[in-house]
Structure 1
């Protein structure tokens, strides 16, 4: 594998930089990423999280050049300015809202600055916020869907007996439905994913896939690991990911990021 072509390194967050139930990136990973910056590599963070649900610690210690968020729907630069976004269609959201109201399913819209809840605000905040204070991250939009005209949704999340909605997924062929917990459902544009957000950045920088290295741990990292010049799976990653990765590093909590970058002599 030719590492001399690598110009940018991409990191997933959950399960790659931060372990479940942890709030901080491992010290060895921080050291490694700072070394990448010092050597002139671009750094990109790619996550399914919305910008306002990325832990502040990540912004503080990584100082990433770019952030691909909401599974590729929203891309920000280092100054947290949105440089590309892929909005959902308001008419489609209205169709889903009508179904959610009928089936008593809470519906939240992932917009650029906060989640706008269109149905059952209290239940949505209780579950999605995991009991934490909203802290301005949620907006009650249950009175009118027109609130989205100011900031259109780029992703959706449902709370409740979501199988009732999954049973209707054929009515929404334009979307991808992804189960999250027993009570939640993530919905995205089927043509947009982390790798699409990365491609938006590659176009800006004039780079190609073969010039990037990617670290990931989960099945939603498959596309970007497969496309990358060098795709690295964490030792704690899924078997599906390990099968297609170019290299499997050690677990996240066993200095996986540091060891992976050392193995390829990027640091």
Structure 2
């Protein structure tokens, strides 16, 4: 078999969809066998670099497409990073202020978030990877040169009035009191990393389960939806495997002949 370029979403795909960050033994085995078979293996996630690296170290996968397609790591080294469009980001924050919609921003690759409004702190206080909230009533985002993502209060009536959110990307988990405005085109980073490796788009295979995998599924030559994937993803997938807790990745690799 030709060398394939295989990209795994993290949450609900590489990891369990019921226990955060848990990875099954069959998935560890599949990753090892894929690399032994000569394939290029990478993660593809919306997570920040620092969060993606934790899973990378746990699995031994050294290459990542992270930050929703805006960050590229090869062999553990950050090769490329593209911040979100600053003019668009600042216009979104300006509209949030006009609509009295609480927000915070990530301006560096860390747990730190900056906000003017204490309300956002109360909304995300129990989220471990978003705990360090810096409340500064005088914070002026106009002077920023890099914003990585915006976390906003979950108020659908208000955020639906901000058209420019669609120009960046949006992620909201059911029942969550906040939402992320962040890049969601993983395929942009996937295409770039494959080109850097001298590979072909024809040999790309992507695995995923959620709404932020839709764009890469629409563009990838071969796509594998987990059994626990959303219906919209299953409808456009090349192949549907078992769920993340039932050896889904390993079984898909067998079916696709990736260990040959």
Give the TM interval when normalised to the shorter protein: 0.7 to 0.9
* C-alpha spacing 1:222/1:255, structure 2 compared with 1 (3 Å): same
Deviation at 1:99, TM superposition (A): 2.7
Q: TM-score of the superposition, structure 1-length normalised?
A: 0.82
2:149 matches 1:155: yes
* Cα distance in 2 between the residues matched to 1:219 and 1:133: 21
Deviation at 1:24, TM superposition (A): 1.5
Q: TM-score of the superposition, structure 2-length normalised?
A: 0.84
* Cα distance in 2 between the residues matched to 1:223 and 1:97: 25
Residue 181 of structure 2 corresponds to which residue in structure 1? Answer: 187
Runs of 4+ in 1 over 4 A off after TM superposition: 133-136, 138-142
2:162 matches 1:168: yes
Deviation at 1:40, TM superposition (A): 2.2
Deviation at 1:242, TM superposition (A): 1.7
| Residue 17 (structure 1) aligned to one of 4, 14, 18 | 14
* C-alpha spacing 1:72/1:217, structure 2 compared with 1 (3 Å): same
SS in structure 2 opposite 1:254?
coil
Residue 2 of structure 2 corresponds to which residue in structure 1? Answer: 5
2:229 matches 1:231: no
* C-alpha spacing 1:168/1:7, structure 2 compared with 1 (3 Å): closer
2:218 matches 1:222: no
* C-alpha spacing 1:218/1:85, structure 2 compared with 1 (3 Å): same
Contact between 1:85 and 1:154, CA under 8 Å: does it hold in 2?
no
* Cα distance in 2 between the residues matched to 1:113 and 1:28: 31
* Cα distance in 1 between the residues matched to 2:36 and 2:143: 44
* Cα distance in 1 between the residues matched to 2:29 and 2:140: 47
Unaligned runs of 5+ in 2: none
Unaligned runs of 5+ in 1: none
* C-alpha spacing 1:33/1:88, structure 2 compared with 1 (3 Å): same
Residue 66 of structure 2 corresponds to which residue in structure 1? Answer: 69
Contact between 2:172 and 2:180, CA under 8 Å: does it hold in 1?
yes
* Cα distance in 2 between the residues matched to 1:235 and 1:248: 6
Residue 252 of structure 2 corresponds to which residue in structure 1? Answer: 260
Q: Deviations over 1:158-182 (max 9, x none)?
A: 124353132132x566334444445
Q: Deviations over 1:84-111 (max 9, x none)?
A: 2222233333332233234333323344
Q: Deviations over 1:61-95 (max 9, x none)?
A: 3222321112112222232x332222223333333
* C-alpha spacing 1:11/1:109, structure 2 compared with 1 (3 Å): same
Which residues in structure 2 correspond to 1:50-129 (within 5 Å)? Answer: 50-54=48-52, 56=54, 58-79=55-76, 81-114=77-110, 115-120=112-117, 122-128=118-124
Deviation at 1:47, TM superposition (A): 1.0
Q: Deviations over 1:3-26 (max 9, x none)?
A: x23422110011111224333111
| Residue 202 (structure 1) aligned to one of 194, 198, 215 | 194
SS in structure 2 opposite 1:25?
coil
Contact between 1:141 and 1:147, CA under 8 Å: does it hold in 2?
no
Name the stretch that deviates more: 153-162 or 215-224: 153-162
| Number of residues of Structure 1 aligned to a counterpart in Structure 2 | 255
* Cα distance in 2 between the residues matched to 1:155 and 1:92: 12
Name the stretch that deviates more: 236-245 or 96-105: 96-105
Q: Deviations over 1:149-201 (max 9, x none)?
A: 3xx123322124353132132x5663344444453233245xx6100011110
